[in-house]
Amino acid sequence: MEKRYNSYVDHFRAKYGDRLQKLVLDAGFTCPNRDGTVGTGGCTYCDNAAFHPGYSTPDKPISLQIEEGIEFHKVRYPRTSRYLAYFQAYSNTYAPLERLRELYSQALAHPAVEGIVVGTRPDCVDEAKLDYLASLQEAGNVVVVEYGIESCYDATLLRINRGHDFDCARRAVGMTAERGLEVGAHFILGLPGESPQMLLDQCAAINALPLTSVKFHQLQLIKGTAMEKEYEKSPQDFWRPGLDEYLDLIVDILERLRPDLCIERIAGEVPPRFVRQTPWGLVRNFQILSMMEARLGSRDTFQGRLFK
């Protein structure tokens, strides 16, 4: 039976003929809401140490991170031989173009690397940087740009100290898609002040973006962050679903999303030592994905069923 949702893994296999495993890299970037350009302190939920593996640290050269990343992934994917260099930590276009050329070229020089995935913010791209990324694709490399958008609501973006509004995200996604590049976007479900109904309503805004793929993560309260302190003061402002309720929300969202939009992720996974609590237990991402597929089946529904 065909899947009831549009899987990003299946999209990549159909397009490139095989699995392309991401190798997470930390190239030592920062963000404009950390260095004072648009703010300080960074996003209130953020501690990047919680989001990437131990082999990925900025003190190591890009080539060494790639080699260690390949060894790391061989344990789980022993037959994988094709990789994408995933520039993930912080904002990976937040540097002069010449610096980006240097870093991306180092990654693409590795014989096992077939392309790059660039994680960044909507306010950290411009025409010249996107033209350069398009030129890498024209030269035969796989190139994906992934934007942290997090929310379609300006009040939320202000509250979490993003330093940009949703119109900024709209412009960046449009400029990227115009160049024929694959565009991904990341959204957090459960940010303060947002209700489940708001999360369903924002599907219309997501559908209107020329995206290739989306990632959804449940909000996880990372120890020591400003958001953890905010939660301690105002827990009533946070929607904190159990796993069963979250799965129903994800299915409700999928029903409203464009059928062609690829679903890359539906939940986040953070090592337990980083988080304030693990209300879902130690359930893994692949288990949540399996539960979601079962929920789609039990509800006899599919991605795009309510899309208009």
Calculate mean pLDDT across residues 66-91.
Answer: 90
> 284: domain CATH number?
3.20.20
Q: Strands, DSSP E only, in the chain?
A: 21-25, 83-87, 113-120, 142-150, 182-189, 213-218, 262-265
Task: Tell me, yes or no, whether 303 lies in a domain.
Answer: no
Task: Tell me, yes or no, whether 2 lies in a domain.
Answer: no
Task: Tell me, yes or no, whether 305 lies in a domain.
Answer: no
Residue ranges making up the domain that contains 57: 8-298
For the chain, the domain total comes to 1
CA distance 171 to 119: 16
Q: For residue 24, with 0-12 CB atoms within 10 Å meaning exposed, 13-18 middle and 19 or more buried, which class applies?
A: buried
Q: Could you read off the pLDDT of 207-221 as tens digits, one per residue?
A: 999 999 999 999 999
Task: Tell me, yes or no, whether 149 lies in a domain.
Answer: yes
Task: Tell me, yes or no, whether 194 lies in a domain.
Answer: yes
Tokens of 94: 């937040």
Task: Tell me, yes or no, whether 3 lies in a domain.
Answer: no
Q: For residue 22, with 0-12 CB atoms within 10 Å meaning exposed, 13-18 middle and 19 or more buried, which class applies?
A: middle
pTM here is: 0.95
Q: What is the pLDDT of residue 50?
A: 61
Task: Tell me, yes or no, whether 304 lies in a domain.
Answer: no
Task: Tell me, yes or no, whether 79 lies in a domain.
Answer: yes
CA distance 254 to 297: 13
Q: Could you read off the pLDDT of 110-166 as tens digits, one per residue?
A: 999 999 999 999 999 999 999 999 999 999 999 999 999 999 999 999 999 999 999
